[in-house]
Amino acid sequence: MQRARRIEPREGWSGEARTQVHVSAVRRRLRRVACRYFTREREQPVFTSRVSTGRLYCSSMARLEARRLRAELTQGRSVEASFALDAGRALQVAGPSGAGKTTLLRMLCRLEARDGGELLLDGEPAERIRPTRWRRRVVYLAQQPAMLEGTVLDNLAAGFLPAAGGGRFPNARRDEACRLLSALGLDPCGELLEQTAATLSGGEAARVALCRALLIEPAVLLCDEPTANLDAGAAAALVGLVHGWLQDGGALVLVAHDEEPWRDLERGRLELSP
């Protein structure tokens, strides 16, 4: 029951896809591999104005597309961007400070209103997808991620409260959380999980926030300076984890001033003019 509820049908699925939702873990993994195969097979450039007609049937994969997405900034400036991002791909948004990188990211997860243009997920316009559902698929990680009240475990489970339509935080998820935390160089076996989240350092909080986001299995991750508070080792661990996640079919939109940790990551580049 737990699993069936977690991978409930997404909006816009066709009827035949709907029948394929209740699959076992093995079949789900197989499907994920197949998805990866197909996204490679189509060989679409990272940026394209073409709209893909193929639909992805994996619950946590999607194609994010922005068409002339525009926001007015302060002092009469504005930011406009068009791109299409397939599952498994990464896109770096670059540009000088104040060019609207953060605003663009916030528009993509609909925390910021857009002043023009279209936003599509799997070819479906944003207007037809409820914001709550959209934000579970396109998750935004702020530069200084806020910790919610309670322990680190409470924070990791935050995406699974009934409030977010997720059900209980199951033990399997807890193990997954521990695995992610140790991949990021944090020690979950110690007292970390029971620690009050407000007492975490900036770097620890950034990594816990990444875990919190990955646990809800988003299709697209929007990271604003994820390595800004980390030392070289921790940054490399984070990039490694994100890399693995991309290979599993995730998609990444990245803002990073310091490109050194990301140098080995194959990624497209979107240059914002000042």
Partner 1 sequence: MKGPIPISDLHLALSTALVVLAGVVSALLRLGLLGSLLWGTVRTFVQLILLGYVLTHVFAIDHPALVLAIVSLMCLVAARAAVSRLKEAPEKPWGLAVLALGAGTFLVGSVVCGVIIGGERWYTARLVIPICGMILGNSLTGVSLALDRMYGEVRARAREVEVRLSLGYSAWEAIRPHVRTALRAGMTPIINALMVVGLVSLPGMMTGQILAGAEPMTAVRYQIVVMLMIAASVAIGALIVVGLSFRRCFTADQALRPELRGDR
**Contacting residues toward partner 1, per CB under 8 A:** 109-113, 131-133, 135-136, 139-142, 144-146, 148-149, 158-159, 161, 163-166, 209, 212-213, 216
CB nearer to partner 1: pick between 189 and 198: 198
SS3 202: helix
CB nearer to partner 1: pick between 161 and 232: 161
Q: Provide the phi-psi class of 143: left if phi over 0, else alpha when psi is between -120 and 50, else beta.
A: alpha
* Residue 219 beta carbon to partner 1: minimum distance, rounded to whole angstroms: 12
CB nearer to partner 1: pick between 139 and 180: 139
CB nearer to partner 1: pick between 36 and 109: 109
Q: At what angle do helices 202-215 and 232-247 cross, to 10 degrees?
A: 10
CB nearer to partner 1: pick between 176 and 259: 176
* Residue 33 beta carbon to partner 1: minimum distance, rounded to whole angstroms: 26
Q: Provide the phi-psi class of 159: left if phi over 0, else alpha when psi is between -120 and 50, else beta.
A: alpha
* Residue 218 beta carbon to partner 1: minimum distance, rounded to whole angstroms: 9
Helix/strand/coil percentages in the chain, nearest 5: 40, 20, 40
* Residue 164 beta carbon to partner 1: minimum distance, rounded to whole angstroms: 4
* Residue 191 beta carbon to partner 1: minimum distance, rounded to whole angstroms: 23
| CB contact at 8 A, 63 and 122 | yes
Question: What sign for the dihedral angle of Cα 106, 108, 111, 116?
Answer: positive
Give the position of tokens 């940790």. Answer: 261
Give the position of tokens 């299709």. Answer: 219
CB nearer to partner 1: pick between 159 and 188: 159
What gap in Å lies between CA 183 and CA 212, rounded to an integer? 14
* Residue 58 beta carbon to partner 1: minimum distance, rounded to whole angstroms: 18
What gap in Å lies between CA 272 and CA 274, rounded to an integer? 6
